[in-house]
Amino acid sequence: MAKKGLGKGLSALIPDVEEEKSREVTEINLKDIKKNPYQPRKNIDDEKLKEMLQSIREHGVIQPVLVRKVDQGYELVAGERRMRAAQLARLEKIPAVIRDFNDNEMLEISLIENIQRENLSPLEEAEAYKRLMDEFGFNQGKIAERLGKSRPVIANTLRLLNLEEKVKDYLKEGKISAGHARALVSIEDMDLQREVADEILKKNLTVRKVEGVLQQLKKKREKAEKEPAKKPKADPFIRDLEEKLCRYLGTKVKILEGKNKGKIEIEYYNPGELERITEKLFNL
């Protein structure tokens, strides 16, 4: 299936004022337009919505929304903030361009349009990238090419999906920044990740401070890995029992303890010695 102009962004899909001079614009009743079922943005910034509302009250809707025809009306493709502001302004109609898109095209357009216009939060953007990969077979390189971003930017954004759930909430609520989140995601221990996030809130740590904390944690971990593991202290009762068995059997005996079980190792060096040891064991 051929994509309609997505290779160079959405300029061929998302209309602007200049383009509409050569394209038919239709006035559509707002009540006939249904919400976009593929909208990746969960929330709209209240301040930006108020700014849009004020602009519409003063100048009207300058840029048409993009819709597709569906049964019993239309479905919004792009321009949700304009439509919401027009509803708040109590307009009955809104200028629109009607285009023919199937479900797959509409999903892809909705995702890329929001990403390109920077309407999404960092997590929403990461989720949008993941949907492009899962539902359209995009890889990170293809997403980077479509959006004009570098591949590392795409990769770092996708990594935000690996954050601990509470840390994700902090990011969604704006309690930590995307910079904080990118630093925290390098902590694989989820409990520790959340502890550091709590410290950020408690002490109002900057991203640079957090990166310093993580460097210290990394050095401690590397030092611990280099140091030989300390042997657990031997149980005096076990060591005493080993010595008694060694004297009785006349050979080296080792008792190995596990968490819920253990084993006894008895050494012998030839068949004759094995026979001697077994005779002693049978005579116990």
List residues with catalytic annotation.
80
Tell me how far apart the 2 most distant CA atoms of the chain are, in Å.
Answer: 107
Residues of 220-248 as b/e, b for ≥16 C-beta within 10 angstroms? eeeeeeeeeeeeeeeeeeeeeebeebeee
Sign of CA dihedral 203, 208, 212, 218: positive
Residues of 24-49 as b/e, b for ≥16 C-beta within 10 angstroms? eeeebebeebeebebbbbeeeeeeeb
Q: Which residues pair with 54 in a beta bridge?
A: none
